[in-house]
Every structure is written in C-alpha cells, then in structure tokens.
Amino acid sequence: MARTRDIPDALITALRDARHVCILTGAGVSAESGVPTFRDAQEGLWANYDAQALATPEAFLADPALVWRWYRWRRDLVSEAMPNPGHYSIAKLAGLLPRVTLITQNVDSLHQRAGSTGVIEFHGNLFDDRCASCDTPTTADDTVDIPVCPDCGGNLRPGVVWFGEGIPEAALRNSSAAAVSCDVFLSVGTSSTVYPAAGLADLARDNAATIVEINPNPTMHAGSFDFVIAGKSGVVFPELIELLDV
C-alpha cells in the first residue's frame, strides 16, 4: 500500500522496542464507522441539542424521557454501525506487540466488536443500564419511555459516565497504571478536551513514555506530543500494522 503520510521510522522503532504500549481512543476512531463524534453538530432531531448538555445528571433529572430518547437514538445508530479498519487494526496490534492496553472513551462497543479484548471503558458503555437510585445493573424495557428498576422502582439510566460523574474506580485505576508503566502512549481520535481522560497522556509523558497523537486535526495539545501523525485512524493504523508486521 502506498504510504499516504510520513510515519517516522523513529516511531516504528519505538513501537518495536516497546514492552508495553497504551492506546487511548476517542470518538474520532468511530467516525469512519458513521458514528458522529461528540463535537460534531448532531444530526436531524438532535441538531438543537448539545451532546455535552444531554450527557449530564441534570439533564436526566430534568427530562429523563428526552435523555432516554437520545440514548436510544444513539444505540440504534451504533447497532447499525460496523467497526472500521481503525478498530480492526488496533485489535490486530495487540497480537504484534508484547503488551497493549486499550483504554477507550467511547461507549459504542465497536472495539470489542472488532476483536479487542480487555478494553478499559473509561466512560462506561451505551448498552449497559442501571438504576439511577440503587445502582443495580439491569436491562431496561425499551417499550417504556422511562424504564424503572424492578428492585426499587427508581428510574433506570444508561450505564455511561456523565459529565460531573466520577470515572468507574477500576477503569481509573487500571488506566492510570497503564499510563504510568507504558513505553509508548498513542492518543487517537480524541480532542483531548475531556478530563481526566485527557490527563492520561501527561501521566505517560511524566513517566518517560513516548507520547503520540493520531488525529486528522492536530489538537491544542499537539505541541506536547513527541509525534503528531495528521491522519485518520482508519488509514494510519493499517499503515502502522503494515510497517510493524514485517
């Protein structure tokens, strides 16, 4: 395949020499699967809503039926979507290197559908439901506008992390440990605006890792990365696989 951009030999060498590579993905990795990123204007019905305002406990408290409609719209959209070459290549990378930790901010299960295992879901999962009152994990009845908990009668909510909510303890612990111990940290398809996820690259750099940004639009943090690869994940990762798999 003709190389469509410069992936520096030094980066390939760093990846080949790495004992542990940590990959953090954001919504951009699912963009080539047709899943709108968080900061894209939302399509159609949702054009008048700000995703960041909807993904909050306050929005759910104010109008749980609206928030459920939004999440059901996203579930349908993601269920129709297919993993793209970026997802598949990230899954393949795990078989080429001694140790890869995949942390995703995405809630769409596309990494798992592409074959990645041990995925750390930093912001939860779109398809998990739990009770907003007693926290019991359960499966919501999709025929009801606002599904309720069979145990306590409280409203059910999607099992994602909303703005203002803490990251699941195990996900935070395991992600931080991976960032501290990795030799190379790849930050892919994320605008690096949401914390504490965006702080993982800093943690990796502060622990002597080589940090890399892969994004068609270099972010405001691009200057702090050792390598910035301006490209789509669905193009760059197949190229990385080709360069490593020799």
Q: Report the interface residues with ligand BV8, using CB under 6 A.
A: 26-29, 31-32, 37-39, 55, 105-107, 123, 160-166, 189-191, 193-196, 215-217, 219, 232-234
Structure tokens at 95: 């078989």
DSSP state of 22: E
Smallest gap from Cβ 19 to ligand BV8, in A, equals 26
Smallest gap from Cβ 34 to ligand BV8, in A, equals 11
Q: Whole-angstrom Cα distance, residue 190 to residue 142?
A: 31
Active-site residue among 87, 111, 123, 221? 123
Smallest gap from Cβ 21 to ligand BV8, in A, equals 17
Between 17 and 65, CB nearer to ligand BV8: 65
Smallest gap from Cβ 60 to ligand BV8, in A, equals 11
Cα dist. 7→176, 229, 236 in Å?
27, 7, 8
Which residue's beta carbon is nearest to the bound ligand BV8?
Answer: 28
Q: Is 132 helix (H, G, I), strand (E, B) or coil?
A: coil
Between 98 and 164, CB nearer to ligand BV8: 164
Between 151 and 165, CB nearer to ligand BV8: 165
Residues 6 or more apart in contact with residue 23 via CB below 8 angstroms: 90, 93, 100, 101, 102, 103, 185, 186, 188
123 carries an active-site annotation: yes
DSSP state of 158: E
Structure tokens at 7: 């992936």
Between 13 and 53, CB nearer to ligand BV8: 53
Q: Whole-angstrom Cα distance, residue 52 to residue 41?
A: 11
Structure tokens at 184: 């190379």
> What residues are labeled active site?
123
